[in-house]
Structure 1
Amino acid sequence: MHTTPPPLPQQRPDLLNPPPEYARWREERPLARITLWGDNQPWLVTRHEDARLVLGDPRFSSENFRPGFPGLQPTTPPRTPGQLFAIDPPDHTRLRRMLIPEFSFRRVEQLRPAIRKLTDELLDGLAVQPQPADLVEHFTLPLPLLVICELLGVPSRDREFIHEQAAAFATVSKGPEAMRAGWAALFGYLRELLDAKARRPGDDLMSKLATDRVATGEADPAEAAGVLVQLLIAGHETTASMLSLGAVALLRHPDQLAALRADDALVPAAVEELLRHLSVVHIGLRRIATEDVEVGGVTIRAGEGVVIALQAANRDPEVFGHPDELDLTRDAGRHLAFGHGLHHCLGQSLARAELQIALPALFHRFPRLRLTGPAAEDLAFEGRAVHGVRELPVAW
C-alpha cells in the first residue's frame, strides 16, 4: 500500500526552536521523502554532514525552472535574469564575481563606522518613543534596510515601498502571483534607478554595476536589475529577523545576556551561536540532482529534488554538543546558517557586522530592556520564507 510522505514540518513548539520532527527524523531517517505539493516529493536532508555534501556538490542544481525542482509553489517560475540563488555556473560565477569586491571582509570592515552611526541614530529615536515601543518598527527592520540601501545606492525615502514589495515576494502563503508581483515591482523600480545611475553615477554598488559592468557589456541591464533585487531582499529580510529573534533569545536567557554584556570579546562567538541556534531560513534550501548521487547511504536519482533543512543540520548533536541549548561560548563556526558551497551567502560578512554592532549596542543602551504585550510566539510570521516576528513590543 502506497503511503504519501509527510509534509515539510512548519509548526514550531515556540519562537526559538525548530519543529520537533526534525530531531526525530535526523535520528531515525536522516534522508527521507516529504511532500511539498501534489506529487512533488523530494528528499529531506537533516544531518549536518549530508547537508554539507549536497550544498557543496555541483551535481545538485539550484535552477528552479528544472522539471521536478522542489520549489515553493506548484508552478514553475519563469526564468528571471540575475537570480543568483536560482542559477548555476557559468552564469552564476560570472555574476557573483562582479559583486564579491563590494561584499568582501575588507569592504565590510570599512562600512562598520557607517553601521555604528545608523545604529546609534535609530537607538536615539527608539529612546524617545512612548513605551511600549515596537522594536521591529524602530530598530531591527530599519537598520539592515538602511544599510543595504546605502550600500546599493537606493534612496532611503523609498524604504517603505522596498520593504512592502520584498515582504510580498517572501510570503509564500500569498501564492505565486503575489510573489511574482512583489519581485516585478522591485525589478521595474531598480531597472529605472540603474538607468539613472548610468547617467549620473555615484559612489555606490549600483553605479559601479551600471558603469563598470552594464556599460562594458559584461552584464545586461536586466541581469543587473535582477541581481540588485535579490541583494535588496536578502540584504535586509534575514538580518532583520535575526536581530529581532536574537534580542528575544538573549532576553529569555539572562545568564547568556549577562555574559555578553560583561565581555565585548564574546560578541563574534555570540553572533555565530545565535545564527546556528535560530536558523531563520526555515523552509530549507532547495536543489535538484542532475546525476545519480549517493548521500548518507541513499542514492538520489537524477531529476529528484532535495530540501536541506538548515535548522536540523544546525542542531545536529554529532557536530554541536547539547545542540538545543544556547551557549554563547561554544565554537559554532561550522554552522550552515549562510549555506555552503557555490551558493553560500554573498552578504554574510555584512550580516555578521550588523549583528555584531547592533545587538550589543541595543543592550548597552537599554540595560533594562524587556518584552511586553503579547507573547512573541503570537507575533511570528505566518507563511513567510524567513522565520521572524511582525512586531516586538518592548519597554526599558
Structure 2
Amino acid sequence: MHATDTPPPLPHHRPLLDPAAEYGRWITERPLARITLWGDTHPWLVTRHEDARAVLGDPRFSARNVRPGFPGLQPTPPPPTPGQLFAMDPPDHTRLRRMLIPEFTFRRVEQLRPAVRRITGELLDGLVEKGPPADLVEHFTLPLPLLVICELLGVPYADREFIHRHAAAFATVSAGPEAMRAGWAALFGYLQELLAAKSREPGDDLMSKLAVERVATKEATAAEAAGMLVQLLVAGHETTASMLSLGVVALLRHPDQLNALRADDDLVPGAVEELLRYLTVVHIGLRRIAVEDAEIGGVTIRAGEGVVVALQSANRDPAVFGDPDTLDLTRDAGHHLAFGHGPHHCLGQSLARAELQIALPMLFDRLPTLRLTGPPAERHAFEGRAVHGVSELPVAW
C-alpha cells in the first residue's frame, strides 16, 4: 500500500459464524497495520494472537475512552461515566474491580450451578409446553442469562423488557451516540434507585452487598456502584445470550461435533472453550490508546496513537490454532482470547462458562431432534452491535 492510500475501514460486517473475510488475509499480509475509523482517524489494528496478548497486558496501553485520540465506538468521545470498568485504568480500575471479584470467583460460581440448572430446566419445561415452532432466542437463549444475572445482582426479572431494550440501545453502535448514551442513562438511573432501596432493605445479592459493604462505608460512591452494575447487567446477559444462540447454530451445522458432544460428557468443558474461540461474539475490537511509545510485533506504536485489538482474528490465528476455521471440539482451545486478557479480562468468565456448560447439553438432551426451520443464513444477524449474535432463532423438534 502506498503512503498516500487511505487505510481500509474496520469491518463491522461478518458472516453468521465466522469473522469478516478481511481478517483471514490481514493476519498474514498486514498483521499490525493502520485502519480507518470515522473517515479521519487511523488507529492500529492488531490481528495476531501474540500481539493481542501483548497489547492487552501492557500498562502502556490505556482503556480510558475519554483520552484524546482514543479509537472509540463513535467519533465524539463519550462523557466521563462513573463505574465503567472497561474504560478505566489503575488505580481506580483496580479499586473498583476488587469489590466485585468475590462474587465471580470459581468457587462462588460453582455454588451458583444448581440455580443455573434449575433456571435452565424451567425454561426448557416452558419451551416444551409451548411446543414447536418456537423462537429459541425469545424462549431460551436470551431469558436464561438474563434470569441468572438478575438473580445474582438482585434485579427484578419482571423488568426484563426495560432492561433488554435499553441494554440493546447501549450496545448498538449504528444507533448513534445519543441513543447509546440514552440507553446507558436509563439503566444507570434505574439501578441507582434499586441501589438506594437495597441500602434501606438489603437482601442476599450483589447489589445489597455493594450498598451495605462498599457505598455505606464510603469505599465507593453510589454512582460508581450503579455504573458497575450497569456493566454487569449488560455484559452479563448480552454476550452469553449470543454465545448460546450461535453455539446452537454451530452445533447444528456440524452434526459430527454435536454427536461427539452428546456421546461424551467429559468433552463439555473443552467444547465450550472451542465454541468461545470459534465464535468470538465481541467482534468490533477491544480499544486502547498508547500512553507511552511501545513496540508490538516489531512495530513502534507512538504515545497518543490508538489501537484496536481484533479478538475474532486472534482466535483464528493459524500460528496458534491449527486449521483455525474448523470447529473441533476436541482441540485444546483454552488459550483463546474470547474473554480478553490482562487486567481487563472478563470478570464474569467463570459464570459464562458455567451457563454454557450447563445449558447447551441440557437443551440437546431435552430436545434431541432440535432443528432450525430455515437455513442459518436466513437468520437476522444484528448489525452495528458490539456483540455479534442473532435476534431470532426459529426452531422445531
- Please state which band the TM-score falls in when normalised by the shorter chain: over 0.9
Instruction: Give the equivalent residue in structure 1 for 2:10.
Output: 8
Question: Residue 294 of structure 1 aligns to a residue in which SS?
Answer: strand
Question: Residue 130 of structure 2 aligns to a residue in which SS?
Answer: coil
Instruction: Give the equivalent residue in structure 2 for 1:87.
Output: 88
Instruction: Give the equivalent residue in structure 2 for 1:339.
Output: 340
- Contact 2:249–2:376 at 8 Å: present in 1 too? no
User: CA separation in 1, counterparts of 2:25 and 2:220?
Assistant: 46
Deviates more, 1:261-270 or 1:368-377: 368-377
Instruction: Give the equivalent residue in structure 2 for 1:349.
Output: 350
User: CA separation in 2, counterparts of 1:61 and 1:320?
Assistant: 28
Q: CA deviation at 1:375?
A: 3.6
**Sequence identity (%):** 82
Instruction: Give the equivalent residue in structure 2 for 1:36.
Output: 37
Q: CA deviation at 1:10?
A: 2.6
Q: CA deviation at 1:11?
A: 2.9
Q: CA deviation at 1:132?
A: 1.4
Structure 1 segments (4+ residues) deviating >6 Å: none
Question: Residue 32 of structure 1 aligns to a residue in which SS?
Answer: strand
Instruction: Give the equivalent residue in structure 2 for 1:97.
Output: 98
Amino acid at match of 2:115: A
Query: Normalising to structure 1: TM-score of the pair?
Result: 0.99
Instruction: Give the equivalent residue in structure 1 for 2:50.
Output: 49
1:88-144: CA deviation from partner (whole Å, max 9, x where unpaired) = 000000000000000000000000000000000000111122421000000000000
Instruction: Give the equivalent residue in structure 1 for 2:249.
Output: 248
User: CA separation in 2, counterparts of 1:338 and 1:40?
Assistant: 27
- Contact 2:170–2:184 at 8 Å: present in 1 too? yes
- Contact 2:242–2:388 at 8 Å: present in 1 too? yes
Q: CA deviation at 1:51?
A: 0.3
Question: Superposition pairs for residues 73-222 of structure 1, below 5 Å?
Answer: 73-222=74-223
- Contact 1:52–1:340 at 8 Å: present in 2 too? yes
Amino acid at match of 2:9: P
Amino acid at match of 1:291: E
Query: What is the RMSD of the two structures over their aligned residues, measured on CA atoms?
Result: 0.9
1:251-293: CA deviation from partner (whole Å, max 9, x where unpaired) = 0000000000001110000000000000000001000000000
Instruction: Give the equivalent residue in structure 2 for 1:283.
Output: 284
Amino acid at match of 1:205: L
User: CA separation in 1, counterparts of 2:225 and 2:378?
Assistant: 38
1:213-243: CA deviation from partner (whole Å, max 9, x where unpaired) = 0000000000000000000000000000000
1:320-347: CA deviation from partner (whole Å, max 9, x where unpaired) = 1110000000000110000000000000
Q: CA deviation at 1:35?
A: 0.5
Question: Residue 342 of structure 1 aligns to a residue in which SS?
Answer: helix
Question: Residue 202 of structure 2 aligns to a residue in which SS?
Answer: coil
- Contact 1:69–1:287 at 8 Å: present in 2 too? yes
- Give 5+ residue unaligned stretches, structure 1: none
- Contact 1:35–1:42 at 8 Å: present in 2 too? yes
User: CA separation in 1, counterparts of 2:44 and 2:269?
Assistant: 34
Amino acid at match of 2:52: A
Amino acid at match of 1:211: V
User: CA separation in 2, counterparts of 1:10 and 1:188?
Assistant: 30
Q: How many residues align?
A: 395
Instruction: Give the equivalent residue in structure 2 for 1:25.
Output: 26
User: CA separation in 2, counterparts of 1:387 and 1:242?
Assistant: 9
User: CA separation in 1, counterparts of 2:197 and 2:11?
Assistant: 45
Instruction: Give the equivalent residue in structure 2 for 1:308.
Output: 309
Q: CA deviation at 1:378?
A: 3.8
User: CA separation in 1, counterparts of 2:40 and 2:234?
Assistant: 30
Query: Normalising to structure 2: TM-score of the pair?
Result: 0.98
User: CA separation in 1, counterparts of 2:154 and 2:282?
Assistant: 26
Question: Residue 295 of structure 2 aligns to a residue in which SS?
Answer: strand
Question: Residue 236 of structure 1 aligns to a residue in which SS?
Answer: helix
- Contact 1:293–1:301 at 8 Å: present in 2 too? yes
